[in-house]
Amino acid sequence: MRTVIAGGHGQIALRLEQLLAERGDTVAGLIRDPQQSDDLRATGAEPVVCDLESASADEVTRHLEGADAAVFAAGAGPGSGAARKETVDRGAAVLFADAAERAGVRRFLVVSAMRADEEPPPEMDPVFAAYLRAKGAADDAVRARAGLDWTILRPGRLTDAPGTGRVRLEERTGRGDITRDDVAAVLRALLDEPRTAGLTLELVNGDTAVADAVAVCARGWGWLFYTSDAADEGVGGGLGGRGVI
């Protein structure tokens, strides 16, 4: 299996690259800075220099050709202003999704953010509000693509504590912490479970083993409030559902 990861030098991406490479997958990570190449090689990934803020759709499409899956894990990062939230957290995500469709890469994962579907309150820091709006707009753009088997993952507050292997993965978890190790483990499991396509999932640490949590989502058991109206419209977490409920 070949996976291309946007934001290949991010802390979650580096962990995911190592997990995939250790099991024998082929992994490529898109990076802006060539000096980051050795860090990717140390995980077993192939570094690909591609600045998603300036690259053309054709260029990104070429990097995705022949891949089985794509993961958008890029972000403008701490210290960046509102303008770069728009160009990276939204613009680069949309470009990467466009390129995946053009390259015929159906499986598409997005690392997003909790509350990205909500309008930020007026008292919120304006840069963080811009970040949430950008993530929400990117998620909407991905959901609108019929050519992608997308899953959107929204982690809680990220920590560098060792992974626990125990998580809570649901449409709504509420706020909580999640280790970056566990986010990477969940992404790996989601790549292996196509029945999670069409789901937007929140993630925090919990009591359920990663594989079991993903399996429950794939079977659609996590949404007991799945309504008959949603079922009639083909929306939600049942088998074949492609919407968010």
Q: Which residues are catalytic?
A: 131
DSSP 126-183: HHHHHHHHHHHHHHHHHHT-TT-EEEEEEE-EEE-SPP-SEEEEES---S-EEEHHHH
Kindly give, in sequence order, each residue whose CB lies less than 8 Å from that of residue 119, ignoring residues fewer than 6 positions away: none
Short-list 240, 132, 108, CA closest to 187: 108
Kindly give, in sequence order, each residue whose CB lies less than 8 Å from that of residue 122, ignoring residues fewer than 6 positions away: none
Kindly give, in sequence order, each residue whose CB lies less than 8 Å from that of residue 41, ignoring residues fewer than 6 positions away: 47
Distance CA 228, CA 239 (A): 15
Which conformational region is residue 234 in: left (phi greater than 0), alpha (psi within -120 to 50 degrees), or beta? left
Written as six digits, the tokens of 24 are 């024998």
Written as six digits, the tokens of 128 are 């963080």
- Element of type H or E holding 8: none
- Burial label for 239, CB within 10 Å (0-12, 13-18, 19+), is exposed
